Amino acid sequence: MVIFPPWLARSGSRRLQSLDPEERSQIIMTIADNLIKRKPEILIANEADLREARACGISGSLYARLAITGAKLAALANGLRQIAESSYDNVGKVVRKTKVGFLTITV
């Protein structure tokens, strides 16, 4: 099992935001392509994670969320491709503002 610290994801997200749309889109598309290309490796690693989870007593819905299938990988890759295509128009732009009390939240 590979565990990454949360700050690493945050740092990567900020780095992606700083790229121009073409670079950002290409990186996200590469990730999507690698999910499909490396499917056998991912499924084998997931099987090992599931065995460890069972050994630790994890079951039910938490266990089900850990399980990855070929269909889940395809759906993830498809979602990433959609994000890559929409990142040309959406990243760095205000989509919605909500006023809550004295705060204005920009999304």
How do residues 49-81 score in pLDDT, each as one tens digit?
999 999 999 999 999 999 999 999 999 999 999
Number of independent structural domains in the chain:
1
Q: What are phi and psi of 29, to 5 degrees?
A: -65, -40
Residue 44 resides in a domain: yes
* CA–CA–CA angle 66, 68, 74 (5° rounding): 140
- 35 pLDDT more than 90: yes
- Would 66 be classed as within a structural domain? yes
14 located within any domain: yes
Closest of 46, 49, 106, 107 to residue 76, by C-alpha: 46
The confidence score (pLDDT) of residue 92 equals 62
Q: In the predicted model, what is the mean pLDDT of residues 35-58?
A: 96
pTM recorded for the entire structure: 0.70
Q: For tokens 């890759």, name the residue.
A: 77
- pLDDT of 12: 78
Domain assignment of residue 95, yes or no: yes
